[in-house]
Amino acid sequence: MLSKKFRFRDEVLATVMLITVIGSLTLAVIDEKSRSQFLDLTKFALGTYIELLIPRSRSSDRDI
């Protein structure tokens, strides 16, 4: 049951990130004056998503 909960969370996170990236890129195409801010938002969203996918190390691994 716990693994199903994490799969659902990952699917929701992926969907939200996909909407954020597509929306930011669309707005960057439409509004040329604010293009750099929308591209920065896209980079931030992708970086956050990738960081959340990386498994966390255990506390015992940090001590070594």
pLDDT of 49? 84
Q: Spell out the per-residue pLDDT of the chain, length 64, in tens.
A: 555 666 787 888 888 888 988 998 898 889 889 888 988 988 988 888 888 878 766 555 555 5
Task: Report d(CA 3, CA 49) in Å as an integer.
Answer: 19
HEC assignment per residue over the chain = CHHHHHHHHHHHHHHHHHHHHHHHHHHHHHCCCCHHHHHHHHHHHHHHHHHHHCCCCCHHHHHC
